[in-house]
Amino acid sequence: MGKKTAWAATIVGGSLVALVAAALVVRPWEVPEPVATPTPTPEPPPAAVLTGADAGAPAPTADGVRDAIDELVEAAAFGGAISASVVDVGTGEQLYSYEGATPTIPASTTKLLTGAAVLAAHGPAHQLATVAVAGAEPGEVVLVGGGDPTLAIDADGFFPGAARLDQLAEQVTEALGDTQVSQVTVDSSLFTGPVHGPWDDDIPGSGFVGPITALMTDGGRIDPDPAQGQRSSLRWEEPDLAAGVAFAELLGVSADQVTIGSAPPAVAGDGDSGGQSDQGESTTDPTGTPAPPDPAAPGAVLGQVMSPPLLRLVETMLVTSDNALAEGLARQVALHQGEPASFAGAAAATTAVLAELGLPMAAAEIADGSGLSRDNQLPAELLTDLLAQAADPAAGEPLAGLFAGLPVAGWSGTLAGRYRAGEPDPTGVEAELRPAGPGAGAVRAKTGSLTGVNALAGLVMTADGRLLAFALLTEEVPVAPGPARQALDEVTTALLECGCR
């Protein structure tokens, strides 16, 4: 398998074969004849999904794609407003465009841009640090947020592999030795600007997202439960303060001794905490060896925990469509570009980074990193250009990392309940109860959904083995989402089933 298809995986499963044995009635005085155990007949393996593209597959044509999907794109379920684009990944050729250059509300397909920008800016291995430093007052510990929304309190966190406050507290206790912690200060000043984006009024209290701050645990969730997915609970009104209270409890400090403030400048020579200070500098012993800084000196680093690599954070953001994580990652792009770590700064930085990649950003308007804002306006052609570039081996890493997080139709993430056979449920709630349809396991895409908005952008293989990038953005959908989602699935399934030649 070449670089172009390195993202692809073959998912193979099996089933147990039942063995049928004759029923025997055995009397105590009788010895039963031995019964031969029948040799099980092996079942054929299930069809492979997400197989690699065939570099020698016949190229689809624009006429073939048009014949396959033109009528489906004009489905009544879309409400008459759709921006659609299909690109041959192998050649970069635009095969289909239906108002594809028209800016349209993209909903959560915006997260594809956020993921691409943060991977391009920082690289897939970059990690986010949460640091504890000594405060200006004796016994004061400052918890400094580094913008990691996945930070957990303990092993029961919402996000897999997250950095943990209990482990940070252990480091602090060890560093301070006999010094008793009496106060915890929370420094979340890394992020600036409003904590809520340019969203509909019902978004902040919906459970889908909360205030965006540089310090939070579990994406700001009050009672995180991974089993319930994205909308697992309400969010803290002050997620940075709530994280500080949790940290204080781990250190044996009462909640009333937790305040919002700022960390002192870092101890000189300590590159992890940034900045320098004349206070607490290292001294030199008679042998000329620098002595370590006094852990009680203001600004001295007492502990640090690191997030999973950005590649894993982007994967989690895409597969679950996590909004708080998306906004946190967008601010990391802003910090890299020297912009304020705010909604506006992140939008400007994301636009700049993607333009540097050669993507056509002139018609795009970005208002947030999650896609919750209706002020976002993206042409479908921008999304297919991004996906095609990410799949191009000449472009190389890091954009190929986007594909690890794209949900698989009928299989994972926000597409687990999609691509089902039978009549669609108008609400979409009972979708997973229907059997898998023909596109299940063969389409990989990012979903997008707001009231009246449904979107889908990703990759699909034609019947001949040719890889296509597609984007379908609709913004005048009737309130019930089921039919529109079914119609989106039908468009991409038609691409899957055709040679499109």
Considering the entire predicted model, what is its pTM? 0.84
State the pLDDT at residue 292. 59
Range in 14-18, 363-367, 380-384 with the lowest mean pLDDT: 14-18
Concerning whether 277 is annotated as a catalytic residue, the answer is no
For residue 490, what pLDDT band results from cuts at 50, 70 and 90? very high
Residue 95 and residue 468 in contact, taking contact as beta carbons nearer than 8 Å: yes
Q: Which of 111, 188, 370, 446 is catalytic?
A: 111
State the pLDDT at residue 53. 64
Concerning whether 108 is annotated as a catalytic residue, the answer is yes
Report helix, strand or coil for 97: strand
Q: Which of 85, 97, 108, 373 is catalytic?
A: 108
For residue 286, pLDDT beyond 80: no
Average pLDDT (262-291) is: 51
State the pLDDT at residue 149. 98
For residue 199, pLDDT beyond 70: yes
Contacts of residue 23, Cβ cutoff 8 Å, sequence gap at least 6: none
Measured CA to CA, the distance from residue 295 to residue 176 in angstroms comes to: 6
Q: Which of 307, 321, 373, 449 is catalytic?
A: 321
State the pLDDT at residue 139. 95
Quote the CATH superfamily of domain 62-123+364-497: DD-peptidase/beta-lactamase superfamily (3.40.710.10)
State the pLDDT at residue 432. 55
State the pLDDT at residue 266. 76
pLDDT digits (tens, 9 = 90+) for 70-115: 999 999 899 888 999 999 998 999 999 999 999 999 999 999 999 9
Strands 301-306 and 258-260 come out as unpaired
Contacts of residue 186, Cβ cutoff 8 Å, sequence gap at least 6: 142, 143, 145, 215, 240, 241, 243, 244, 258, 259, 260, 261
Concerning whether 3 is annotated as a catalytic residue, the answer is no
For residue 32, what pLDDT band results from cuts at 50, 70 and 90? very low
Report helix, strand or coil for 259: strand
Q: Across the chain, what does the average pLDDT equal?
A: 84
For residue 42, pLDDT beyond 80: no
Average pLDDT (147-169) is: 97
State the pLDDT at residue 279. 34
State the pLDDT at residue 7. 34
pLDDT digits (tens, 9 = 90+) for 215-239: 999 999 998 877 766 555 789 999 9
Measured CA to CA, the distance from residue 70 to residue 182 in angstroms comes to: 68
Average pLDDT (45-51) is: 45
Domain boundaries defined on the chain = 62-123+364-497, 127-275+294-308
For residue 491, pLDDT beyond 60: yes
**In the chain, % of residues over pLDDT 70:** 79
Higher pLDDT, 480 or 348: 348
What are the strands of the beta sheet with 467-474, ordered from one edge?
Answer: 94-98, 82-88, 467-474, 453-461, 443-450
For residue 372, pLDDT beyond 70: yes
